[in-house]
Copies of this chain bind each other. A is one copy, B any other.
């Protein structure tokens, strides 16, 4: 509704202008016409791109409109002008509007899909991109960098757009500040729907980045407001604010595995945002603070399980006299009138403290400077189940002043602090995920900090002059905010969650039928193996969601793969989501069971293998460089007589990248796997990376590792989260079963080891510095 109202206002404005100067509309249907129309456009001109597919088109939209009479480039019908292939859009000039374009099935041939600049000196000002979609417009590999939207100049706007699926390196949206023409920019990014961004498996996958460390002293004044961030999982920072005076207001962060981070720059305002977590994810975070003078007010944090860097409130330690690209101390920060409901260890202070790593890190990397001159006041914590550590002290909190904060911890004891009072009050669910205080929350003496008189409204827009409730909401009888109403965000013509079609089942009797079914199935379909055996001599290309399963799980079918050496039985393409279940898989000893593409992995793949017996392969799974998988799971599966096991170590540049986010090995049996039984690697000292994740549980490793060159059976070098539990290791000729990283979240328990080397834990790993 709001969106419609806004559009109406825009058109009303345009219409009223018509009265003085008749608006000129030009319909264009090809590149030449478009360029011609652009070059002749004047204030008030509307260029209409006809519906259809516009392929390999690089649009340079330049011109000078006026505030009342912009030059508009719009789709004939919003969403029906498809920009595809090698295409991009650049804008430069004044008062230009782009409306209704749909970028999909392609990628930018340049560094940006949409750029508010033509070149490094010619920028857009007062220009707007609205009502557009960019979907999966990815370059061929994740190491190839681009931006989907790059801001330069001043007073530009991105609103009511939908952006989903960026898988390659580079923030989805970036505001650049180099040059005086781009500071004090007052750009607005509002009412957009940022759809899912898969994890990238390494840095440089923010959804929005504002500036960089080199311009972090510049005033930006960018406003990010009223957007929905839905599962924006790219990396540890959803929004990376790297400049000054930015404002983040009324956004919804929904189950997004990362945080809003004031990474560089200072004096940002984080007001009235919702951070909604997920019981199943320890990676959904809240606000992480670095630097000076930030104000965090009226925010609502719900059900967050993020840890340390991804804590609901993570206030970091800084470095003494930091380099401009490292961690500044938190000083003069105010956190007031926020609410945390059912979050685990919501307040974490001194995050990143690493004084104990002086031996392996240079002084310029030691985060020893804890927050000072910092205030937490009038905040509310409610835990439905008591939390043993609502305040997590990674370092002393003597530089922080706590005033008039309340907590209901259901009577569970914890190490408290003056200024956080324990009280019994109740909360009620106003709408899904949103809990508000009931009338038993007392009208207390709220703390009146410096300039608190400027906090005039609460999260829902209620005045703070009446009532005096701590927490984000000042009215126990507030109406529903409808924060998850999708119509509030993005273009109204695009549905990011269309109704799903029921899957079909394809029963196949022969190798030919199997190959054909895999090729022709719709995403989500099931292929049932009815025959006893299938001999395949070329790879099955998996590029969609597909389940392959024996018809009779009690008597499994066998796929014998006779393809040439180094080819895989299952070729995992971008967007492959393969479930292989209750099947036997046999190779020639020289080929592979599964592998990614060698290049052009423009998006990730997932693989789940259950109740499968895999034998006689050179590799069980080989991940090539630049490939990435979010989920790899082997369950109740036997792997035997293979030269190599699961190989996820092709990212060897030591720049923080890795080949898989989550790897689970559950109740499996590895027998006579000669080397690289599990080889999972992440290199480079990037303290903010919180992946990958490896669970090895209830599995047996026997007579394996006999050719292992580095003497380690399960190699997890650089992986942050590792759990090795309840396994048996029998007669493996290695020096170490595994070497764990004690300083990170690596653990082992209940393992039985016989004649198999040992498990060691090293506190600190020597890693290559990335910065």
Contacts and interface: CB of A to CB of B under 8 A. Distances in A.
Nearest to A216: B217
B321 A324 contact: yes
A234 to B, nearest CB: 25
A93 interface: no
A484 interface: no
Given A321-B323, A324-B328, A373-B178, A293 B334 contact: no
B324 A293 contact: no
Interface string A204-228: 0000000001010111000000000
Interface string A58-102: 000000000000000000000000000000000000000000000
B217 A292 contact: yes
Contacts of A291: 217
Interface stretch (A6-14, A179-187, A509-517): A179-187
Given A180-B450, A181-B450, A321-B325, A244 B267 contact: no
Contacts of A629: none
5 contacts: A179-B332, A180-B293, A321-B323, A321-B771, A322-B324
Contacts of A178: 331-332, 373
A771 B322 CA distance: 12
Chain A binding surface SS class = loop
A178 B180 CA distance: 27
Interface in A446-461: 450-451
A292 B324 CA distance: 13
Given A218-B292, A244-B217, A180 B451 contact: yes
Nearest to A266: B217
A121 to B, nearest CB: 10
B293 A183 contact: yes
Interface residues of A, number: 31
Interface in A412-460: 450-451
Contacts of A321: 213, 323-325, 771
How many copies of this chain? 2
Interface of A: 178-181, 183, 213, 215, 217-219, 244, 265-267, 291-293, 321-325, 328, 331-332, 334, 364, 373, 450-451, 771
Contacts of A215: 292
A267 B334 contact: no
A265 B771 CA distance: 23
A682 B328 CA distance: 33
Most chain B beta-carbon contacts within 10 A, residue among A180, A213, A334: A180
Contacts of A244: 217
A450 to B, nearest CB: 6
Contacts of A325: 321
Contacts of A217: 217, 244, 265-266, 291-292, 328
B323 A180 contact: no
Contact of A322 (B218, B323, B373): B323
Contacts of A219: 267
A221 to B, nearest CB: 12
A217 B266 CA distance: 7
A203 B451 CA distance: 37
A180 B291 CA distance: 13
A239 to B, nearest CB: 19
Question: Top 8 nearest A-B pairs by Cβ distance?
Answer: A321-B323, A217-B266, A180-B332, A321-B325, A323-B323, A321-B324, A180-B450, A181-B450
A330 to B, nearest CB: 12
A373 B293 CA distance: 29
Contacts of A324: 321-324, 328
A321 B218 CA distance: 15
Contacts of A183: 293, 332
A329 to B, nearest CB: 8
A334 B266 contact: no
A49 to B, nearest CB: 33
Contacts of A292: 215, 217-218
Contacts of A213: 321
A334 to B, nearest CB: 7
Contacts of A771: 321
A636 to B, nearest CB: 51
Most chain B beta-carbon contacts within 10 A, residue among A217, A266, A325, A451: A217
A76 to B, nearest CB: 38
